[in-house]
Amino acid sequence: MKNLILLLSFTLLTSCNQQSEKNVINSKDPVLSSEVYKNYVAAYNDYASCKMERPQLTNDFMEKKMTSEEFTAALEKNAKSCNIKKEIFNKYYQLLEAEFEKTIAAKHKIME
C-alpha cells in the first residue's frame, strides 16, 4: 500500500514538473506564446480532422451504409468544408509570416 501511494505521488510530481517546464519554454518564446500561433495550430488541427473524415466516408460507402448519391453528396460537402478550412489555415500562416520573420517560422517548422 505504501508503495502504491509513493508511486502515485512520484507520478504526480513528475507530471507537474513536465507541464511547468513546457509553460516556461512557451512563455519565453514569443512565437509559441502568441495568439496568432495558437489560432494557427487550432486551424491546422481543424483542417487535419476534416481530411480524416474522407476515409470514414469511403468505409461507410464500401460497407453499404450509404448510397452512391449520399456518398457523392457527402464527399462534395467534405471537399467544400476542407477547402474553406484550408484557406483559414493558410491565412493564419500568412499572419504568422507577417508578424514574425520567415527565419522564425522556419525555426518552429511552421508550414503552409
Tens of pLDDT, residue by residue, the chain (112 residues)? 444 343 344 454 455 544 444 444 445 777 788 898 899 999 999 999 999 999 999 999 999 999 999 999 999 999 999 999 999 989 998 888 888 776 565 666 666 5
pLDDT of residue 36: 87
pLDDT of residue 28: 73
pLDDT of residue 112: 59
**Which of 111, 109, 103 lies closest to 47, judged by CA?**
111
The Cα 45–Cα 108 span in angstroms is: 17
**Which of 49, 100, 3 lies closest to 108, judged by CA?**
100
- Contact assessment for residue 3 and residue 63, using Cβ atoms and an 8 Å cutoff: no
Q: pTM of the full predicted structure?
A: 0.62
